[in-house]
Chain A
Amino acid sequence: MLPKQTAERYILSSSPHAHADASTSRIMLDVIIALLPALCCGVYFFGLRALILTGTCIAACLVTEGLCRLAMKRENTIGDLSAVVTGLLLALNLPPDLPVWMAAVGGVFAIGFAKQVFGGLGYNPFNPALSARAFMLISFTGAMTTWSSSAWTLSAGSTEAVTTATPLALIKKGAEGFDWSQAALIKDLFIGNVNGCIGEVSALALLIGAVYLLVRKVITWHIPVAFIGTVFLYAMFKGGVPPLVHVLSGGCVIGACFMATDYVTSPITAKGKLIFGCGCGLITMLIRTAPTGAYPEGVSFSILIMNALTPLINRFTQPKPFGKVKK
Chain B
Amino acid sequence: MKTVQSAFKFHGGVHPQYNKDLAASKPIEAMPLPKQLVVSMSQHLGAPAKCLVKKGDAVAKGQLIGERNGFISANVHAPVAGTVAAVEPRMGPTGGWVDAVILDVAEDQSGASAFMPPLDWKSASREDLLARVNDAGICGMGGAGFPTVVKLSPPPDKHCEYLILNGAECEPYLTSDYRTMLERADRIRAGVEIMRKILNGPAVRIAVEANKPDAIAALEKAFADIEGNVEIVVLPVLYPQGSEKHQIYATVKRIVPEGALPIAVGCVVENVGTVAAIADAVEKGIPLIERVTTVSGDGVVEPKNVRAPVGTRYADLVAFCGGEKEGVRKVISGGPMMGFNVPNLEIPTTKTTSGLLFFTSARVFQYSSNACINCGRCVRAAQKMDVMDCIECGACSFGCPAYRDITQNCRRAKASIRAAAAAAKAKAAAANAKK
Which residues of A pack against B, CB within 8 Å? 2-3, 5-24, 26-27, 77, 80, 82, 119-123, 263-266, 268-269, 318-325
By the criterion CB–CB under 8 Å, are A323 and B389 in contact?
Answer: yes
State the Cβ distance, A46 to closest chain B Cβ, in Å. Answer: 32
26 A-B pairs (CB sep. < 8 Å): A2-B89, A6-B344, A10-B343, A12-B343, A15-B332, A15-B340, A15-B392, A16-B398, A17-B332, A17-B336, A18-B336, A20-B14, A27-B373, A119-B371, A120-B371, A121-B373, A122-B372, A123-B371, A263-B374, A265-B374, A321-B385, A321-B389, A323-B260, A324-B258, A324-B386, A325-B257
- On whether the beta carbons of A24 and B341 are closer than 8 Å, the reply is no
Given contacts A14-B408, A321-B389, 20 further A-B contacts (CB under 8 A): A2-B89, A3-B88, A7-B344, A9-B344, A16-B338, A16-B397, A16-B407, A17-B359, A18-B17, A18-B172, A20-B399, A23-B403, A27-B401, A263-B375, A268-B374, A319-B384, A321-B384, A322-B11, A323-B255, A323-B257
**Whole-angstrom CA separation of A38 from B322 in the bound complex:** 56
Given A17-B341, A24-B402, A322:B384 Cβ within 8 A: yes
Cβ contact within 8 Å between B337 and A16? yes
Q: Return chain A residues, CB-CB under 8 Å to B375.
A: 27, 263
Task: For B365, list chain A residues within 8 Å (CB).
Answer: 19, 21
Complex formed: what's the CA distance from A131 to B402 in Å?
24
Q: Are A20 and B16 in contact (CB under 8 A)?
A: yes
Query: Which residues of chain B have C-beta atoms less than 8 A from A14's C-beta?
Result: 341, 405, 407-408, 411
Binary contact readout B165-179 vs A (1 if CB under 8 angstroms, 0 otherwise): 000000010000000
Residues of A within 8 A of B366 (CB): 11
Residue on B with the closest CB to A25? B401
Min distance, Cβ B76 to any Cβ of chain A, angstroms? 20
Q: Taking the nearest CB of chain A, how far is it from the CB of B191, in angstroms?
A: 28
Among B55-63, B112-120, B213-221, B323-331, the stretch in contact with A: B323-331
User: Which 9 A-B pairs rank lowest in CB-CB distance, beginning with the nearest?
Assistant: A16-B394, A122-B371, A268-B376, A18-B336, A8-B343, A322-B383, A17-B336, A22-B401, A319-B384
**Which of A9, A17, A323 is close to B385, meaning CB atoms less than 8 Å apart?**
A323
- Complex Cα gap A13–B401 (Å): 18
Does B31 lie at the interface of the complex (its beta carbon under 8 Å from any beta carbon of A)?
A: no
Q: CB of B198 within 8 A of chain A? A: no
B90 sits at the interface (CB 8 A)? yes
Give the distance to chain A from B358, nearest Cβ to Cβ, in Å.
Answer: 9
The answer to whether B97 touches A19 (Cβ under 8 A) is no
CB <8 Å contact, B401 and A26: yes
Closest Cβ–Cβ distance, residue B66 to chain A (whole Å):
19
User: Are the C-beta atoms of A10 and B370 separated by less than 8 Å?
Assistant: no
Chain A positions within 8 Å of B383 at CB level: 322
Which chain A residue shows the least CB distance to B246?
A322
Q: Is the interface of B mostly helix, strand, loop or mixed?
A: loop
**Which residues on A sit within 8 Å (CB–CB) of B345?**
9
Complex contact A268–B379 (CB within 8 A)? yes
User: Once bound together, how far apart are the Cα atoms of A324 and B331, in whole Å?
Assistant: 37
**Would you give the shortest CB distance from B282 to chain A, in whole angstroms?**
33
Residues of A contacting B342 in the complex (Cβ-Cβ under 8 angstroms) = 10
| B364 contacts partner chain A, Cβ-Cβ < 8 Å | yes
Interface presence of B91 (CB below 8 A): yes
The residues of B that contact A266 with a CB separation of less than 8 Å are 374
Q: Which residues of B contact A5 (CB under 8 A)?
A: 91, 343
Chain A positions within 8 Å of B385 at CB level: 321-323
Q: How far is the CA of A323 from the CA of B339 in the complex (A)?
A: 25
> Is B183 positioned at the interface, with any CB of A under 8 Å from its CB?
no
By a CB distance below 8 angstroms, the chain B residues around A20 are 14, 16, 398-399
User: How close is B330's CB to chain A, nearest CB, in angstroms?
Assistant: 5
Judge whether B359 and A8 touch: CB under 8 Å.
no
Chain B interface residue count, Cβ-Cβ cutoff 8 angstroms: 67
Interface pair A10/B97, CB less than 8 Å apart: no
User: Residues of B contacting A119 with CB < 8 Å?
Assistant: 371
Nearest-CB residue, chain A, relative to B384: A319
Contacts of B341 in A (CB 8 A): 10-15, 17
B373 partner, pick from A7, A9, A263, beta carbons under 8 A: A263
Asked if B245 CB lies within 8 Å of chain A CBs, one says yes
Contacts of A120 in B (CB 8 A): 371
Which residue of B is nearest A8, CB measured? B343
Contact of A17 among B260, B339, B343 (CB under 8 A): B339
Interface flag for B256 (CB, 8 Å): yes
Residues of A within 8 Å of B407, CB to CB, are 14-16
Q: In the complex, what residues of B have CB within 8 A of residue A7's CB?
A: 344
Scoring B330, B359, B373, B389 by chain A CB atoms within 10 A of each residue's CB, the highest score goes to B373
Q: What CA separation (Å) do A254 and B395 show in the bound complex?
A: 32
Q: CB-CB < 8 A to A321: which residues of B?
A: 258, 384-386, 389
Q: Knowing A11-B330, A19-B398 are in contact, say whether A269-B245 is a contact too (CB < 8 A).
A: no
Max count, chain B CB within 10 A of own CB: residue among A12, A13, A22, A323: A323
Judge whether B20 is part of the interface by a CB distance below 8 angstroms.
no
Given A17-B341, A263-B375: A10 and B329 interface contact (C-beta under 8 Å): yes
B370 contact from A3, A80, A264, Cβ within 8 A:
A80
Min Cβ gap B384→A in Å is 4
Residues of B within 8 Å of A23, CB to CB, are 401, 403
Q: Is B346's CB within 8 Å of the partner chain A?
A: yes
B49 at the interface (CB under 8 A from A): no
Residue B377 is within 8 A (CB to CB) of chain A in the complex: yes
Q: Look across to chain A and name the residue whose beta carbon is closest to the beta carbon of B259.
A: A323
Contact yes or no, B401 A24, CB < 8 A: yes
> Chain B: which residue is nearest A121 at the CB level?
B371
CB distance from B7 to the nearest CB of A (A): 18
Chain B 187-213 interface 0/1 with A at a Cβ cutoff of 8 Å (1 = within) = 000000000000000000000000000
* Residue B295 at the chain A interface, CB threshold 8 Å: no
Report if B400 contacts A (CB, 8 A). yes
Task: Find out whether the CB atom of A18 lies under 8 angstroms from the CB atom of B398.
Answer: yes
Measured between beta carbons, the chain A residues less than 8 angstroms from B392 are: 15
Shortest distance from the beta carbon of A326 to any chain B beta carbon, whole Å: 10
Residues of B within 8 A of A10 (CB): 328-331, 341-344
Instruction: Give complex CA distance A22, B371 in Å.
Output: 14
Shortest C-beta distance, B376 to chain A (Å), equals 4
How many angstroms between the C-alpha atoms of A222 and B274 in the bound complex?
A: 44
Task: Specify which of B331, B367, B379, B403 is in contact with A319 (CB 8 Å cutoff).
Answer: B379
Query: Which residue, B91, B339, B402, has most C-beta atoms of chain A within 10 A?
Result: B402
Residue-wise interface mask of B (380-392) relative to A, using a CB-CB cutoff of 8 A (1 in contact, 0 not) = 0001111001001
- B97–A2 CB distance below 8 A: yes
**Cα distance A19–B371 in the bound complex, in angstroms:** 17
